Amino acid sequence: MMLLLTLLATLFFCLAVFRRTSRRAPAAIRQPTVEIHDAALARCALVDYADAFIDRPAILPFTGPPGRRRSDNLTTVPYGPQWRVLRRNLTGGILHPSRAGLLAPLQRTAVEALVAGIAASRVGGGGGDGDGEVLVRDVVRDALFPVAARFCFGDGIGERDVRDLQRVLREFELDVVVEGFGGSMLANLVHWWRLRRFVASGRRQAEVFLPLITRRRRTQHRDDADSGVFRPYVDSLLDLRVPVGGDDAAGEGKEEHHLSHRALTDDEMVGLVSEFLGGGTESVVSCVEWTLAHLVIEPEMQDKLRLEVAAAEADRHGGERGTTPAAYLRAVILESLRMHPPVPLTMRDVRSPQAVEHLSLPGGGARVHFILGDIGRDGKAWTDPDEFRPERFMVGGEAEGVGPLPGPKEVRMMPFGAGRRYCPGMGLGVAHACLFVAALVREFEWAPAATGGVDLTEVNGFFKMMRTPLRARATPRRASA
């Protein structure tokens, strides 16, 4: 009887939310969904009609207080003054290439932790089974996430804090399925139990993040904080002031300095930190796992890459830094991103009459899903698109000059999105993937696990991951190899 009452109460609550939300934002909730799988059509939408494709839908537009859309991070905040301030803070103040040197100590720590984690796993600790086999996803995540946490919160972050952060972010990723919360309200009501899990997961994030943010607020202005090596992301958020009303369409066209400003709310801080930690870690984990999976299947490619990495290392030890370009390493990473973009899709809300007419979208506008994996494997844009062939990105190859961010003339792949709202962490993510893959092939030889081969079946969740996590046999290379 108690269970029945609980179910009925939850149903009435969801119906009340449905009625309130359908009155408040019917266009955003009831929009039909259109999928774009074609690279040329993606270019037309994101380049020719860039202004019409600048708003992303909120994952859960009805979770905020009545009358206010909840837009807590860069992914979901509408284009306008607030988005520009948030974006400028991240790209100019935190992720700018001029700051790359400041992150070198953190990156070295991550690579050392990766190699140590693999060595420990091989002898039966961690994710290994004692005969050289390693669960790759776990050792990569465990090496990278503490660095991302320090980059976000500063050197005061402890091991227990890192474990708590990992736990709540992992829960959040499991509770959010991209296709699940972007559709009709009726579909959301059918999956009301997932809605409850999602909301509870958000509360757990706040319980972990906010005390760390408060701690940083007390210490961020100390002279000895982090020894001046780098400025943590949270420090920039604490000092940031965003335009009031900047998340509304009415704010479009206004100069930020003509608007009043306010500090970020707790909800916004939690959303931005979650986005920074989750996106900055899991996109790299996905790329590294997929890349190594292909190198395990193709040992000749692995050997070729190892020789390039070894030559680059010899140059560095000889004091000739940078004389051996890592062209093949870059090609391997790009081919992995083409076939297996870190996220399954990117979403836009479109209501422009011109874009609707030209692209044959529903008359009242639509929610458009760009299917990134299909765009990267479009047979009209690529030769043998389902084959892992890094040489296509080398000099003379069909994709010479193609990078992770599409240019204005064509879209052949867009693993980090395209247009104004491409992922701002693209450069750092690719750099981390290159560092990790280079270390993996430099220090170890990789082969399939004794239990079987490599399963390249994809699963689409919050990120595009391998359905069967890669388990591979790692053999340490001799120093003279």
Binding positions for heme are 423
For CA atoms 339, 275, 421, 179, the dihedral sign is positive
Give dist(CA 9, CA 218) in Å, integer: 42
Give dist(CA 309, CA 437) in Å, integer: 10
Neighbouring C-beta atoms of residue 376, cutoff 10 Å: 22
Rg (CA), the chain: 23
Tell me how many helices (H) and strands (E) the chain has.
16, 10
Helix (H) or strand (E) run with residue 283 in it: helix 266-297
Do the Cβ atoms of 55 and 75 come closer than 8 Å? no
DSSP state of 473: E
Report angle CA 282, 427, 447 to the nearest 5 degrees.
55
By C-alpha distance, which of 393, 281, 289, 397 is closest to 338?
Answer: 393
Please report, for residues 47, 155, 331, 378, the alpha-carbon distance to residue 409 in angstroms, rounded to integers and kept in the order given: 8, 43, 21, 17
Give dist(CA 288, CA 145) in Å, integer: 14
By C-alpha distance, which of 270, 265, 279 is closest to 202?
Answer: 270
227 φ, ψ (degrees, to nearest 5):
55, 25
Which residues, listed in sequence order, are joined to residue 417 by a DSSP beta bridge? Answer: 415
Measure CA 346 to chain center: 11
Give dist(CA 194, CA 181) in Å, integer: 9
Do the Cβ atoms of 55 and 395 come closer than 8 Å? no
* Residues counted in the chain: 481
For residue 3 the two structure tokens come to 């269970």
Give dist(CA 182, CA 369) in Å, integer: 10
Please report, for residues 94, 159, 191, 347, the alpha-carbon distance to residue 17 in angstroms, rounded to integers and kept in the order given: 38, 40, 14, 24
Which positions make up the binding site? 423
Q: Tokens 């669960």, residue?
A: 135
